[in-house]
Amino acid sequence: MLTHIWTVYLFQPVFNLLVYFYNELTNQNLGVAVIYLTLLLRFVLLPFSLINVWNEGFYKKISKDISKIALAYKDDPVLQNQEIREFLRHHRINPWAKAIVLGVQALTLVLLYQVFLGGIHGSKFDLLYPQVERPDFINTQFLGFDIGSRSILWPAIVAIFLFLEVSWEQRKKKKLLMNSDVVYKVLFPLIIFIVLAVLPLVKSIFILTSLIFSLIVVGGARILFGLIGSSKDNEEVPVKESD
């Protein structure tokens, strides 16, 4: 039952999309087809990404209120957590948006691994929909690399990109950084490099494309929400005098 659900509702649609892009839009370049698939996925998930960006900005605005709640119930951690959750629920902050984006991307990584596992041929082509043409061959070359094999260069590019991204984020709160933050900046990209180095190169292409998408589109949304937030923060708020 689970195998049927996985194959029919998850693997088959992704595989058909990939082959369709390969046949129709990429001049039979599977690497470019993976990039198209990644971009399509990120555009589908864009509403959740924007919700997450909005949540980030809103968290900053209400951080003082959350700090007051934490201070008021500092002697009762259980009640403190309940009050904070209730506060967030009352303000309709969606904690699942980021989890959905990361979860779907992780699922797609697993599906892509299954696509490339053992090569793209034979019985896998039997899963193509009637309207998707069966290709005569699969070209796995991308910029001189075989995306079905391992690589050191592409995981290194992803790791460097992550290091620079984390460094930029930490630069904004330089005075608040702890030793764990410095370790994370180095250790996280290193772990990603090691993992990607033992996996097919296609995983690096998928992750790098997703990171660049986030940098451009989601980063742009952060700037937009930041400008909106700052303009509101500059408005004078009337203070009600106590009786």
Q: Given its phi and psi angles, is residue 122 left (phi above 0), alpha (psi -120 to 50 degrees) or beta? A: left
| Contact between 18 and 115 (Cβ < 8 Å) | yes
Q: Which amino acid is residue 71, in one-letter code?
A: L
State percent of the chain over pLDDT 90.
47
Residues 34-52: what's their mean pLDDT?
91
The predicted structure's pLDDT at residue 241? 40
Q: Which residues contact 81 (CB under 8 A, 6 or more apart)?
A: none
pLDDT in tens, 215-241: 998 778 777 776 554 444 444 334 344
The predicted structure's pLDDT at residue 18? 95
Distance, first Cα to last Cα, the chain: 67
Q: Which residues contact 23 (CB under 8 A, 6 or more apart)?
A: 132, 133, 135
Q: Which H or E element spans position 207?
A: helix 201-213
Question: Where do the DSSP E strands lie in 76-231?
Answer: 141-142, 145-146
Q: Is the pLDDT of residue 63 over 90?
A: no
Q: Is the pLDDT of residue 193 over 90?
A: yes
pLDDT in tens, 162-180: 999 989 887 866 666 677 8
Identify the DSSP state of 7. Answer: I
Q: Is the pLDDT of residue 98 over 90?
A: no
**In this structure, what token pair is assigned to residue 38?**
């990644």
Mean pLDDT of the chain: 84
Q: Which is higher by pLDDT, 102 or 37? A: 37
Of how many residues is the chain composed?
A: 243
Of 34-43, 106-115, 212-221, least confident by mean pLDDT is 212-221
Of 1-5, 70-74, 198-202, least confident by mean pLDDT is 70-74
pLDDT in tens, 130-155: 999 999 889 999 999 999 999 999 99
Q: Is the pLDDT of residue 20 over 70?
A: yes
The span from the CA of 85 to the CA of 65, in Å, is 12
| Contact between 229 and 59 (Cβ < 8 Å) | no
